[in-house]
Amino acid sequence: MISLTIPYWGQSILRVVGGAVAVLLPAGTIVYLFLFKMMSFMQSRLGPMEAGPYGSMQLFAEVGKWLQKEDIVPEKADRVIFKMAPIIVLVSTFLLVAVVPFGPDAYFTQFDAGVFYMLAVSSVSVLGILIAGWSSANKYSLLGGLRAAGQLIAYELPMVLAVVGVVIQAGTMNLQSIVLEQNGGSMFGWDGLGNPYILTQFIGFAVFMIAVQAELTQTPFDMPIAESELVSGYMTEYSGFRFLMFFIAEFATAGVFSLIASVLFLGGWGIPFSWFGWTSVDSIDNWMNVVGPLIMFTKMMGLVFLIMWVRFSYPRFREDQLQRFAWKVLIPVSLVNIMVTAILKVAF
């Protein structure tokens, strides 16, 4: 057997590329098909059927098709920034995946500022959207971009504040430790279910999911791309592959936010540790590294389904209703939630 030592930077590249190719790509393909089929069935149609068996190769067909489309940059547009914007949105999505833990040893990286990092990186996509709207030199795009910025910053706050409740309960911002806390925890001395924070932090979970819906600009909150008012908002002038990058980033971010929500509120990759008598990370059996990602995947599917279900069930808000809802309902509610959680934490 050949033994060779790979330096740490090499190992981390292998880990990232291997994980991306072996796990994220197939997962993305499956989720993409799942979403398309689900949407189609909700609208009483068949959805993709031609590409591969049961339309399973739809993602590759889309990429192949959009690669051949002409990429039109408007004459008046700010060319460099216009071309850069979709990549910024894509980078934001990729960076989000980095901190999500998939199993006791199956993670890309974990650090103590995990939650903070996640919140910070998720707001980078706002920049991409804002400059996409601005650089297009189109009135629809500009309005769409401004609306997106206004909406994303308004819903960023409830999201941040909802997560504080989880951080208070877990006493850590490391996403891996949050998973361990939930599955190793107990509710009122009973550890049969661990302590998934969806039960003890239900308000936080509700606020978080609403904010995620808005951050993704999915339908009740899709004023930035409102097709009946703004053609396609900040994406109006985009064509060809750059348009597809926005489009795919939107779906990918829905998946990644579902992963994060399942880590924060549904117990992530874990099953209640009391079932198998595990007490710490080291005592967890190795097979969890295989089962863990599958559990995560299942939870993610559930949450993505929830997001899309809401998307296809509700009409669009008006711009003023949207802002009012964020500032006058969600933010006060999540502030009160923080204080109540803190009082309970100190009292017990």
Partner 1 sequence: MSDFLRDYLTVFWFGALAIILGGLLLGIAAAIRPNKPNYEKLIAYESGVDPVGHGWSQSQIRYYVFALLFVVFDVEAVFIFPWAIQLEVYGLFGLAEMGIFVFVLLLGLVYAWKKGVLRWV
Kindly identify the residues of this chain, within the stretch 156-175, that bind partner 1 according to CB under 8 A. Answer: 156-157, 160-161, 164, 167-168, 171-173
List the interface residues with partner 1, window 83-102 (CB under 8 A).
Answer: 86-87, 90-91, 93-95, 97-99
142 binds partner 1 (CB under 8 A): yes
327 binds partner 1 (CB under 8 A): yes
177 residue type, one letter: S
CB of 1 to partner 1, least distance (A): 27
CB of 186 to partner 1, least distance (A): 17
Listed in sequence order, the DSSP H helices in the chain are 8-19, 25-42, 58-67, 79-97, 114-122, 124-135, 139-170, 175-184, 197-200, 202-215, 227-230, 240-265, 288-313, 319-324, 331-347
User: Which residue, 302 or 324, has its beta carbon nearer to partner 1?
Assistant: 324
Q: Which stretch binds partner 1 (CB under 8 A): 71-79, 193-201, 203-211, 271-279?
A: 71-79
**32, 36, 102, 134: residue in contact with partner 1 (rule CB under 8 A):** 134
SS3 285: coil
**61, 106, 127, 146: residue in contact with partner 1 (rule CB under 8 A):** 146
DSSP structure class, residue 5: P
294 residue type, one letter: L
CB 289 within 8 A of CB 104: yes
**18, 60, 139, 275: residue in contact with partner 1 (rule CB under 8 A):** 139
75 binds partner 1 (CB under 8 A): yes
**6, 67, 199, 340: residue in contact with partner 1 (rule CB under 8 A):** 67
CB-based burial of residue 73 (10 Å sphere; 0-12 exposed, 13-18 middle, 19+ buried)?
A: middle
Q: Which residue has the tokens 């999911």?
A: 209
The token pair at 287 is 């097979």
List the interface residues with partner 1, window 247-306 (CB under 8 A).
Answer: none
